[in-house]
Structure 1
Amino acid sequence: MSDEMRERLQRTRRVTTPWSDDRTRGISGPHFDELLERWANGYDWGVHERRINAFPWVTVRAGDTDLRVIHQRSADPGAPVVVLLHGWPDSVLRFERVLPLLADMHVVVPALPGFPFAAPLTVPGMSVNRIAGIVADALEELGYSRYTVSGGDVGGTVAEILAAQHPDRVAALHLTNTAPQRALTADPAKLAPDAAAHLRRSAQWFRTEGGYIAEQSTRPNTLAVALGDSPAGLAAWIIEKPRSAPLSPPMSNRPPSLTGSTRRPCSPCSRATSNRSREATPRCS
């Protein structure tokens, strides 16, 4: 960690509110203090940087965009292909513990544009639809014409679009969750009871935990000032999200009628040992 970063963390100006200890209103004061102390004085980023750079990274040109992906090849040229799509506030590291279990497959884990470890965005207009097209082009560039896709959070939405736009390429679609915005569009009267119950849980989650979606999708420039200038502000924004994630409805209650796909879900994540070829590694920053 740089001296400047450590100094900025130590000089963070605390903002006291009447509900600083109320975790239902965001990150709590004591938790935040503990986080900043650990980050400034007890965290060694270099260890993790070296670990992340050791993944088999490649950069693929997809249309007018560079897409960075972890490309773990199987020793068998004819092995099945699995594409893993992450969400937010995580990254390709969502699948770190899965990679060693998939040595008998070709595995492609894109760092989705705009997310950690991705190539910098240079033009406006990025969307889940465009990302799906970029991923499809990148897979074609890598030589893969048929693959299983698994995704969650925004990666799940990208996966659904990819499957819908390229049914000839997507052999199976596996979703860990569906977008909570479905609660705003689906008609409960047309759903089975378990699907309607899922919809109600999704709507509740969206009301209590989905505020960040509106802010990030409608006013990104304003938010970027705080998140880009203040490391403590970025930490506070992100740290509560993993805590709220368990409130999302369990996948076992999500019927195919809510996924927009009639494909049989496929879980590829039950394999053994790792084979990591070193091709190219982006600098982690």
Structure 2
Amino acid sequence: MNGPSADTVPFRISIPESAAADLRDRLRRTRWPEPETVDDWSQGTRLSYVRELCRYWTQEYDWAAAEARLNRFAQFTTEIDGLRIHFLHVRSPHPDAVPLLITHGWPSSVAEFHKVIDPLVDPVAFGGDAADAFHVVCPSLPGFGFSGKPSGTGWGTERIADAWDRLMSRLGYARYGAQGGDWGARITMALGRRHPENVVGIHLSMVPFHEPENTADLTGRERSALESLARHRAQGTAYATVMATRPQSIGYGLTDSPAALAAWIVEKFQAWGDCDGDPGTAFTHDELLDNLTLYWIPATGASAARIYWESFAAATGDDGPVPVPAGCSVFPADYYRPSRRLAEPQFPDLRHWNELDKGGHFAALEQPSTLVSEVRAAFRLFR
């Protein structure tokens, strides 16, 4: 395929000055709460941090430069199952490149992948081998970014996986690989289960797993992983419960107040990034705000939250083994950190496994070179 099909439309992000002015005005008029009564993030996003980030958003964030960054890669829209889907599509100059579908999660966006697209598409330009090249497709999830907002129910992970398979077929890719973390990992696994005839293999940068019933023979490392996951569920999943049960209620604040949106989303970058408690050590203000802008400008606070309501409520039971070849990269600051033994029941054809020493939940932003190396290593075993 040499270009987009007749069913796809070129797209560019355009941020009107009026929208930027409105955001600055709202930020200036924010009614702030009092500071937290602890000296850490255990009560949520710290007032001093979110005020500084919003000050930067108001006074220093360069909207023209941001628009240029967000338009760096070719973008398109297409309609699938009655919904507009926005996606990046970057073809490799190397003829034997493997099509690779990369899916983000919440609270992320396609902006998370900007550091990894070029080296995946043209490894030679980065000192690599043409045999590792990919044609890269990065769709925005339904209700996220510039994809359409579903007006009815039913857009859970399985339906999204089916839509992604149709997207790849529409782009001329009969066989393709898939990669993802967070919701992207679950959608990638659903693709492997539901469309194994089309999926060359999958790579996950977050590795969901079923906790073992028998814990008597667990190693110390496995016990630590289970204890960490238990702490996350006990102390760090209120956001998911809210969005899985009342996405509309939280959506009002996330759509009306940029300060609320920033506090709600950036907390997860602090909690899940490999940043030792300080998100500034892993993410620049511009990186965080480019991602926030893809929630604020299209007003997706409620529609993005609904992926939790849709997917948690569906409970289809479609969580069995993934039959296609799989590769998994476990990053040390993520909340899922299984051993290979704990993960293997999900992946009967597990060909690549690696436990990294740096990085967290947002691997493409935090450790882009490592993630690129991991994807290449996995797909060498799939091609």
* Bin of the TM-score, shorter chain as denominator length: 0.7 to 0.9
TM-score of the superposition, structure 1-length normalised?
A: 0.84
Partner residue of 2:213 out of 151, 172, 187:
187
Alignment of 1:151 onto 2:180: yes
Scaled by the length of structure 2, what TM-score is found?
Answer: 0.63
Q: Which residue of 1 aligns with 2:199?
A: 170
Q: How many corresponding residue pairs?
A: 268
Report the counterpart of residue 232 of structure 1 in structure 2: 259
Structure 2: gaps (5+ residues): 1-16, 123-132, 274-332, 353-369, 375-383
Residue equivalent to 1:282: none
Task: Give the C-alpha shift of residue 203 in structure 1.
Answer: 2.2
Specify whether residues 254 and 208 from structure 1 end up closer, same or farther in structure 2 by C-alpha distance, changes over 3 A only. Answer: farther
Matched, 1:38 2:56: yes
Code of the aligned partner of 1:82? L
**Structure 1 residue 89 and structure 2 residue 107: aligned?**
yes
Partner of 1:114: helix, strand, or coil? coil
Identity of aligned residues (%): 31
Q: Does structure 1 conserve the Cα–Cα contact (< 8 Å) formed by 2:35 and 2:47?
A: no
The separation in 1 between residues aligned to 2:257 and 2:185, in whole angstroms, is 30
Change in 2 beyond 3 A, CA 1:252/1:96: farther
Give the whole-Å Cα distance in 1 for the aligned partners of 2:112 and 2:216.
Answer: 34
Unaligned segments of structure 1, at least 5 residues? 272-285
**Which stretch of the first structure deviates more once superposed, 99-108 or 248-257?**
248-257
Shift of 1:124: 2.5
Deviation of 1:121 (Å): 2.8
Alignment partners' CA distance in 2, 1:11 and 1:21? 26
Match of residue 158 from structure 2: 129
Question: Compared with structure 1, are the counterparts of its residues 136 and 240 closer, same or farther at alpha carbon in structure 2 (3 Å cutoff)?
Answer: same
Q: Larger RCO: Structure 1 or Structure 2 (Cα < 8 Å, ≥ 6 residues apart)?
A: 1
> CA 1:191/1:265 → structure 2, altered by over 3 Å: closer, same or farther?
farther
Return the alpha-carbon distance in structure 2 between the equivalents of residues 49 and 179 of structure 1. Answer: 34
1:264 aligns with 2:293: no
Q: CA deviation at 1:21?
A: 4.4
Equivalent AA in structure 1 for residue 343 of structure 2:
S
Q: Does the 8 A contact of 2:208 with 2:343 survive in 1?
A: no
CA distance in 2, matches of 1:159, 1:190: 32
User: Could you tell me which of 141, 159, 163 is aligned with 2:170?
Assistant: 141
User: Whole-Å Cα distance in 2 between the matches of residues 17 and 89 of structure 1?
Assistant: 24
- RMSD over aligned Cα atoms: 2.6
Out of 134, 144, 147, the position equivalent to 1:115 is 144
CA distance in structure 1 between the partners assigned to 2:202 and 2:243 by the alignment: 27
Tell me which residue corresponds to 2:250.
Answer: 223
Change (3 A) 1:259 1:65: farther
